[in-house]
A = this chain, B = another copy of it.
Amino acid sequence: MEDRKPVDPPHPARDVTEHVGYRLKRTAAALRGAMDKALREHGLTVPQYACLELLDQQPGLSNAELARGAFVTRQSMNVVLRGLQDAGLIFRPASADHGRALPAHLTAEGRSRLDAARSVVYAIERHMVDTVPQRRLAALLADLDRMAAALGG
């Protein structure tokens, strides 16, 4: 145990840029920026795209459920939904049959717009993921999950 010569303690690195949190934010910011730039050419924002993607895979999600899925508040998701609805990309019934939750669904145009945007987003993600060794990918996903769970995500 005393053969350990580095003066700096291994855990709290002296440089913040060495911290996991900093790297995490850095990578997330880079991904957000790349997606933002690519989606702008398709007339979509990142939250809008996330909303469409969620609705494609789980039709009928309510505003609150979409908000949790996109990691924003209900209020923010509400304006996103209004925008998508005004653009004719999604459809919501005027009133709910059960409870207050209004189930949202993609329109035909919404689905085609999503397909177009999906191709560029997937290309970005592919380019990003291809830089990590394939056999580490599962571990990476698991680690991200564990960290999120530890923080109450």
- B148 near A27 with CB under 8 A, answer yes
How far apart are the CA atoms of A77 and B19 in the complex, in Å? 21
The size class of the interface chain A forms with chain B is 35 or more
- A152 near B28 with CB under 8 A, answer no
Given the interface contacts A16-B53, A127-B150, does A21 sit within 8 Å of B31 by beta carbon?
A: yes
- B145 near A128 with CB under 8 A, answer no
Tell me which residues from 110 to 153 in chain A have a Cβ below 8 Å from any Cβ of chain B.
121-122, 124-133, 136-137, 139-141, 143-153
Asked whether A30 is an interface residue with its Cβ less than 8 Å from the other chain, the reply is: yes
How far apart are the CA atoms of A39 and B136 in the complex, in Å? 33
Residue numbers in B under 8 Å from A32 (CB-CB): 25
Asked whether A80 is an interface residue with its Cβ less than 8 Å from the other chain, the reply is: no
- A15 near B140 with CB under 8 A, answer no
Given the interface contacts A31-B25, A54-B16, A141-B20, does A147 sit within 8 Å of B126 by beta carbon?
A: no
- A31 near B71 with CB under 8 A, answer no
- B23 near A145 with CB under 8 A, answer yes
Can you name 6 A-B pairs with beta carbons within 8 Å? Answer: A20-B137, A24-B31, A26-B153, A27-B147, A30-B148, A127-B151
Query: Residues on A close to B: CB < 8 A?
Result: 11-12, 14-21, 23-35, 50, 53-54, 57, 69, 71, 121-122, 124-133, 136-137, 139-141, 143-153
